[in-house]
């Protein structure tokens, strides 16, 4: 069985926040090793993002700051977010893979996945946070809009709230954002009452519930967000720290649950392309299992 293509960039492995940091290159190394053994898997090298695509989301002076910080060898942007000398190159590679996967899907190629790091859903317009430098999924959403997709649905199943994504789209009625996340937990945002211009659908959930309750809650939220509003493309902020046993999360999902979720999205939107983008997940072997399960759902 052929799986949808996985887009990545070699520079994503070069970003290294340092020894002991949970967002380590090993997350992506293990995934790529697994895809190399997976029947039907295809990994494609993406080009780096063009700056014109990124400045739709982040201002030029912020990009200059990231460039300069990397050029001088890196540095600590906050307690969690640390750059080395190749972090800006990695950020361009991650955004580029997100863009190439989106272009592939929009241009009729089918579903796709972007295996990238650093992740993106905590990044604010002018500030990095929570391991994230650029809002990859919003860069992809803006690209889809530029390519003619009038309505974009972003679904975030990372265990942490995508506060950056929400902040970047909450005034844009063409983009709807559904996030199911652990509450209370980092970053402390994502209450159900946060609605943007009616386009934000947050589902804060406690840790430790039965798996089925998380699956049902997310599917219910997606149904609510798309009632009488059918997206032209679905982008998934695919964080696998929502798997049971992740060191930074308290959800109980298993890999097969992502297959179930993706198949439910396909049933609901049968002619709509779906693009997954890797976000969190800090047990590398489990991340690989989760991504493969997602690809099986898209196959």
With beta carbons less than 8 A apart as the criterion, state whether 131 and 28 touch.
Answer: no
Cα 36 to Cα 32, 126, 249, distances in angstroms: 6, 37, 28
Assigned token pair, 178:
């559904």
Strand 175-182 to 152-156 pairing: parallel
Q: Which one, of 268, 284, 240, 234, lies nearest residue 101 by Cα? A: 234
With beta carbons less than 8 A apart as the criterion, state whether 185 and 280 touch.
Answer: no
214 vs 59: CA distance, rounded Å: 36
- The yes-or-no answer on residue 121 being catalytic is no
Contact residues for 136 (Cβ-Cβ < 8 A; gap 6+): 94, 95, 98, 114, 116, 119, 120, 121, 277
Give the active site residue among 9, 122, 160, 161.
122
Positions annotated as catalytic residues are 122
């Amino acid at each position: 069985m052929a799986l949808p293509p996985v887009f990545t960039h070699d520079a994503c492995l070069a970003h290294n926040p340092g020894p002991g940091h949970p967002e380590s290159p090993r997350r992506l190394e293990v995934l790529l090793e697994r895809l190399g053994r997976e029947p039907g898997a295809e990994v494609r090298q993406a080009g780096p993002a063009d700056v014109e695509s990124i400045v739709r989301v982040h201002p030029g002076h912020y990009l200059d700051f990231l460039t300069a910080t990397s050029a001088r060898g890196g540095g600590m942007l906050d307690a969690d977010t640390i750059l080395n000398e190749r972090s800006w190159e990695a950020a361009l590679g991650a955004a580029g893979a997100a863009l190439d996967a989106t272009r592939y899907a929009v241009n009729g190629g089918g579903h796709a996945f972007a295996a990238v790091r650093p992740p993106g859903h905590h990044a604010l317009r002018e500030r990095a946070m929570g391991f994230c430098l650029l809002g990859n999924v919003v860069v992809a959403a803006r690209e889809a809009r530029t390519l003619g997709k009038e309505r974009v649905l972003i679904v975030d199943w990372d265990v942490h709230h995508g506060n950056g994504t929400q902040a970047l789209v909450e005034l844009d009625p063409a983009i709807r954002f559904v996030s199911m996340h652990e509450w209370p937990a980092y970053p402390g945002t994502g209450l159900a009452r946060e609605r943007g211009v009616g386009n934000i659908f947050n589902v804060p959930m406690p840790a430790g519930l039965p798996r089925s309750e998380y699956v049902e809650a997310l599917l219910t939220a997606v149904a609510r967000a798309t009632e009488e509003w059918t997206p032209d493309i679905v982008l998934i902020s695919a964080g696998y720290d929502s798997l049971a046993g992740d060191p930074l999360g308290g959800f109980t999902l298993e890999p097969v649950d992502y297959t179930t979720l993706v198949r439910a999205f396909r049933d609901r939107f049968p002619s709509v392309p779906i693009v997954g983008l890797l976000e969190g997940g800090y047990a590398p072997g489990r991340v690989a299992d989760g991504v493969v399960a997602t690809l099986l759902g898209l196959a």
